[in-house]
């Protein structure tokens, strides 16, 4: 029951790639990409690289209830905010202020914080979240996420998370600090208290799967994802400590909510329901509904497979999630999921209002996910943007804003 691969391209790139593989209980079938569709997808990537694309049609013939939608994608160059070091390039973290401007975290130093105004395309360097000594020349040492807690007219309290190189012990932990930022005449970033530091500190060879993404709960607390950091002992619960967990964090309290995660790069709080996206190994990317006290299975079970026999950890059971909390949805093969956002209510997103959108790296697509109630996933539609999407936000006017690993901001709207 693979979904139809619909192809029609009046003036644009049209496809429904039929991602619908992984709803629990469904028969698992390989995702099909006929070569003509592959060709069309690649030709569309070329169109996108020109810059502004109009009227790309997301064909929803496989699922009539949400109807067809068209998307427009406008691309803005923001090269200064891109993280550029060894080990590739990386897009900025993004958070929106209540006045509509954005905070972007990254830049060549990985830890710079910028104020960005899309209306004027003006970018202001506010300062740095950490010292140069807290990182190595590697793009993975970069701001993972920014959460805005409290705002005044020219200042704000924000939380910033990043994987930090602990020079004295030559290892890596994920830290979360509170900052006061000033964006008036004298821009500044002043670091305050450390709210969280992951333990154990892991060897730097494993600086991967940091996660470090946040969902704001209220003006004094957030949910924070901590990935497995590629820790070779992640399969030893007595040793793995904070790794592979989700926490509720405030200035004076840290509470573990869930465990058994690999690399949760997307997190969104919808009412009281907390959803995360998670990179599996080769295949087995997940959308999870997070509930307190549950174990989500990594590294003991995964719908994916090890990359090689020499992986840092080999799941005991693959192609299965038996014995642990199952994802609401999963992807085989991998899409490499990043940020999750909820589309705003109202007319802006038509029938997709209130639904969620997920960025992807490898898939270079936005994936629209329909939630039916808390736990059921309806339509899942992929829209190629031809870029690795690092983070997502919703603008004041309801547009989606994406940061990409090649240093762009994308403004995405219904066409």
Q: Which residues bind Ca ion (CB under 5 A)?
A: 296-297
In the bound state with Ca ion, the residue whose beta carbon lies nearer, of 280 and 359, is: 280
**Residue 51: CB minimum distance to Ca ion, A:** 38
Min dist CB 246 to Ca ion, Å, is 12
Q: CA–CA separation, 302 vs 114, rounded Å? A: 38
110 vs 297, which CB is nearer to Ca ion?
297
Residue appearing with tokens 């940061």: 403
Instruction: For the CB of residue 245, give the shortest distance to Ca ion in the complex, in Å.
Output: 13
Q: Shortest gap between Cβ of 368 and Ca ion (angstroms)? A: 22
Give least dist CB 401 to Ca ion, A.
Answer: 29
Which residue number, 109 or 259, has a Cβ lying nearer to Ca ion?
Answer: 259
Q: Smallest distance from the beta carbon of 34 to Ca ion, in angstroms?
A: 31
Q: Which is nearer to Ca ion, 179 or 296 (CB)?
A: 296
Using CA atoms, how far apart are residues 112 and 127, in angstroms rounded to an integer? 6
We find the least distance from the C-beta atom of residue 64 to Ca ion, in angstroms, to be 31
Q: Nearer to Ca ion by C-beta: 62 or 294?
A: 294
HEC letters along the chain: CCCCCCECCCCCCCECCCCCCCCCCCCCCCCCCCHHHHHHHHHHHHHHHCCCEEEEEECCCCCHHHCCEEEEEEEEECHHHCEECCCCEECCEEEECCCCCEEEEECCCCCEEEEEECCCCEEEEEEECCCHHHCCCCCCCCCCEEEEEEECCCEEEEEEEEEEEECCCCEEEEEEEEEEEECCCCCEEEEEEEEEECCCCEEHHHCCCCEEEEEEEECCEEEEEECCCCCCCCCCHHHHCCCCEEEEEECCEEEEEEECCCCCCEEEEECCEEEEEECCCECCEEEEEECCCCECCCCCEECCECCCCCCCCCCCEECECCCCCCCCEEECCCCCEEEEEECCCCCCCHHHCCCEEEEECCCCEEEEEEEECCCEEEEEEEEECCCCEEEEEECCCCCEEEEECCCEEEEEEEC
Rounded to a whole number of angstroms, the minimum distance from the CB of residue 129 to Ca ion is 30
Closest residue to bound Ca ion by CB: 297
Pick 125 or 294: Cβ nearer Ca ion? 294
Question: Residue 277 or 382: which CB sits closer to Ca ion?
Answer: 277
Residue 314 CB, nearest distance to Ca ion (Å)? 15
Residue 296 or 331 having the CB closest to Ca ion: 296
Pick the closer one to Ca ion by CB: 165 or 296.
Answer: 296
């Amino acid at each position: 029951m693979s979904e139809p691969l619909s192809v029609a391209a009046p003036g644009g790139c049209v496809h429904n790639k039929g991602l619908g593989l992984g709803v629990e209980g469904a028969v698992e079938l390989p995702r099909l990409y006929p070569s003509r569709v592959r060709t069309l997808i690649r030709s569309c990537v070329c169109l996108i690289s020109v810059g502004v694309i109009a009227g790309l049609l997301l064909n929803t013939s496989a699922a009539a209830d949400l109807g067809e939608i068209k998307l427009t994608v406008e691309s803005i160059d923001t090269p200064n905010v891109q993280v550029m070091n060894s080990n590739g390039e990386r897009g900025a973290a993004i958070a929106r202020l209540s006045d509509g401007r954005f905070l972007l975290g990254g830049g060549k130093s990985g830890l710079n914080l910028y104020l960005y105004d899309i209306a004027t395309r003006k970018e202001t360097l506010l300062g740095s979240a950490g010292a140069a000594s807290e990182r190595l020349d590697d793009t993975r040492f970069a701001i993972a996420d920014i959460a805005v807690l409290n705002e005044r007219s020219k200042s704000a309290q924000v939380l910033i998370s990043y994987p930090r190189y602990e020079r004295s012990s030559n290892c890596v932990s994920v830290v979360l600090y509170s900052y006061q930022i000033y964006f008036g005449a004298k821009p500044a970033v002043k670091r305050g208290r450390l709210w969280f530091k992951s333990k154990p500190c892991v060897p730097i060879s494993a600086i991967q799967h940091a996660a470090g993404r946040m969902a704001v709960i209220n003006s004094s607390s957030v949910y924070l994802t901590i990935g497995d950091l590629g820790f070779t002992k992640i399969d030893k619960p007595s040793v793995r400590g904070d790794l592979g967990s989700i926490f509720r964090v405030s200035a004076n309290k840290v509470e573990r909510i869930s465990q058994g995660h690999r690399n949760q790069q997307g997190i969104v709080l919808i009412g009281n329901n907390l959803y995360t996206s998670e990179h599996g190994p080769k295949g087995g990317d997940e959308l999870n509904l997070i509930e307190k006290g549950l174990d989500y299975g990594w590294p003991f079970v995964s719908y994916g497979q090890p990359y090689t026999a020499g992986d840092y950890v080999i799941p005991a059971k693959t192609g299965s999630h038996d014995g642990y909390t199952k994802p609401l949805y999963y992807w085989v093969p991998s899409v490499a999921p990043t940020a999750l956002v909820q589309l705003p209510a109202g007319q802006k997103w038509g029938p997709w209002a209130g639904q969620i959108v997920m960025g992807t790296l490898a898939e270079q697509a936005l994936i629209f996910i329909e939630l039916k109630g808390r736990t059921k996933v309806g339509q899942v539609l992929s829209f190629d943007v031809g870029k690795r999407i690092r983070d997502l936000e919703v603008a004041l006017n309801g547009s989606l804003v994406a940061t990409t690993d090649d240093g762009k901001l994308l403004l995405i709207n219904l066409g």
